[in-house]
Homo-oligomer: A and B are copies of this chain.
Amino acid sequence: MPAPVRRFEIIGAPYDGASTLGFPGSRYAPDRIRHALGRITQRVEDGQVFSLESGQLHTAPQITDVGDAEIVGHDLFATLGHTSARVAQSVREGNVPILLGGDDCFLFAGTQGLHDATSGSVAVIHFDAHLDVMDVNVQQGTHSQSSGMRRSMELDRASTAHSIQVGLRHFNFPASHDYLRDSGLARITAAEFEQIGAQAAIARILERIDGADHVHLSFDIDAIDPAHAPGAGALEPGGITSRQAIETVSALAPYCDSFAVTEVNPMTDHQDMTATLAAYLCYYFAVFGQEPAAR
């Protein structure tokens, strides 16, 4: 008997108040991603859509836009709290939330939402150019765009042993080296990804999350190279390609209980090309993730 088909809920989080290092502007992302998503879904007919990649007709996924989480522009903690609560509500109601940031403080809010709505272990697949494992400093506090993975891993049932970071590159603080070593977080750097290819990367990720009870997929758009994603909070050369991102997200989708795309920045974008890419990531996630993988 096939698994029951899953329903998806779009939740916007138009807030970039925690982007203490990157370009601000991701507050405008939900609006532009939705606009692009509207164009993609115009091709649904009679509940079906044709995928060129698979060459097949697919049932068009059930996606409901439930509007924005209750963002409070001047209050980061209220914003995070409302957003994670909204994500949790979606999960509790049996849906798969698709959270549209906003900056990468929502890496934590998304994880927390899945965590609070479930019991059992929670793994995070974290696509990003950066580690986001900052502990605390004066300028950024505890919950900035640089600390989301660390805060996520501190949740009670978060499973570092099943979590993995993908797309990392360049240089970081020695303290981050120590944190990674001590915590046992796994990673596939952008350089390795390019070397081994998308299929091998997918296999390694699936192997890593195997055994986790729940999986949150959080995608900071800067995991992708700025050539493909110029509208981002940071333009870090040497990222993965948009083709690899699409292929990987499609393959992981059946294994994931929630999804977030963060750091899309319309203020630095070129003709909405990054918002369009983000919209496709969401739609591929839904099309290929509507039938959950057997666990």
Q: What residues make up the interface of A, taking CB atoms closer than 8 Å to B? A: 16-18, 20, 23-25, 27, 40, 43, 45-46, 48-53, 55-57, 71-76, 131, 138-141, 143-144, 168-177, 187, 189-191, 194, 225-228, 230, 235-239, 241-243, 246-247, 267-268, 270-273, 276-277, 280, 283, 287
Query: How many copies of this protein are present in the complex?
Result: 6
Report Cα–Cα, A73/B147, bound state, in Å: 14
For A267, what are the chain B residues with a Cβ–Cβ distance below 8 Å? Answer: 23-25, 267-268
**15 pairs across A/B with beta carbons < 8 Å?**
A40-B171, A48-B174, A52-B169, A52-B189, A57-B177, A73-B144, A74-B141, A74-B144, A191-B247, A235-B270, A235-B272, A237-B280, A238-B241, A267-B267, A270-B270
Choose among B75, B139, B168, B191 the residue that contacts A243 (Cβ–Cβ < 8 A): B191
Which of A76, A131, A172, A243 neighbours the largest number of chain B CB atoms within 10 Å of its CB? A243
Report Cα–Cα, A287/B46, bound state, in Å: 45
Closest 5 CB pairs of A and B: A24-B24, A20-B73, A74-B141, A237-B242, A50-B177
Choose among B23, B72, B187 the residue that contacts A139 (Cβ–Cβ < 8 A): B72
For A18, what are the chain B residues with a Cβ–Cβ distance below 8 Å? Answer: 74
Flag if A74 contacts B20 (CB, 8 Å): yes
Flag if A277 contacts B50 (CB, 8 Å): no
For A46, what are the chain B residues with a Cβ–Cβ distance below 8 Å? Answer: 174
For A49, what are the chain B residues with a Cβ–Cβ distance below 8 Å? Answer: 171-174
Choose among B50, B173, B271 the residue that contacts A172 (Cβ–Cβ < 8 A): B50
Report Cα–Cα, A170/B236, bound state, in Å: 26
For A143, what are the chain B residues with a Cβ–Cβ distance below 8 Å? Answer: 74
Given contacts A27-B24, A276-B237, whether A174 and B45 have CB atoms under 8 Å apart is yes
Report Cα–Cα, A56/B191, bound state, in Å: 14
Which of A20, A176, A272 neighbours the largest number of chain B CB atoms within 10 Å of its CB? A20
